[in-house]
Amino acid sequence: MKFLNNSPLLKLRRRSLRRDQTEAERLLWSRLKRKQLGGLKFYRQFSVGHYILDFYCFNAKLAIELDGSQHLEPSTKRYDDARTEYLESLGVTVLRFWNNEVMTNMNGVLETIQAVALERMAEATK
């Protein structure tokens, strides 16, 4: 694939996903945008390869995925596993949170994201 990040072929789909975000995505984005979390720059609906990630921190190579109940289905689980394997092969770490986790434990979610992102960035400078 010519464009590894934000392929022009996926631009309309990324735009659609930003417009039709879930409540959990909207709430988390309100806390990640504009470098509010420890100065980390996040993008929403960012594509890597042929996958569109809910949120992505380029400097930490960290993907954040929010999952609803459909992710309990075996076929969706297999898709998620393949997606994670592909992203990890590129050096991207994937953190997954359930939608209800974002809704009921936002501070815990943000603490985890920040800790992992800072750890990833520290590893990259070694």
pTM score of the predicted model: 0.91
The pLDDT of residue 2: 54
Q: How confident is the model at residue 9, as a pLDDT?
A: 83
The pLDDT assigned to 1 comes to 47
Percentage with pLDDT > 70 across the chain:
96
Which tens digits make up the pLDDT trace of 89-106? 999 999 999 999 999 999
What is the predicted pLDDT for the residue at 86? 96
Topology classification of domain 8-124 = Endonuclease; Chain A (3.40.960)
d(CA 41, CA 55): 10
How far is residue 92 CA from its own chain's centroid?
10
Smallest CA-to-CA distance from 65 within 20, 13, 22, 115 is with 22
User: What pLDDT does 62 receive?
Assistant: 97
Selection from 93, 7, 94 nearest residue 49 by Cα: 7
* CA 35, 90, 92, 72 torsion-angle sign: positive
Tokens 């520290």, located at residue: 122
Identify the pLDDT of residue 3. Answer: 57
Name the residue ranges covered by the structural domains of the chain.
Answer: 8-124
**What residues contact residue 100 under an 8 Å CB cut-off, 6+ apart?**
24
* pLDDT at 13 > cutoff 90: no
Q: How far is it, in rounded angstroms, from Cα 117 to Cα 119?
A: 5
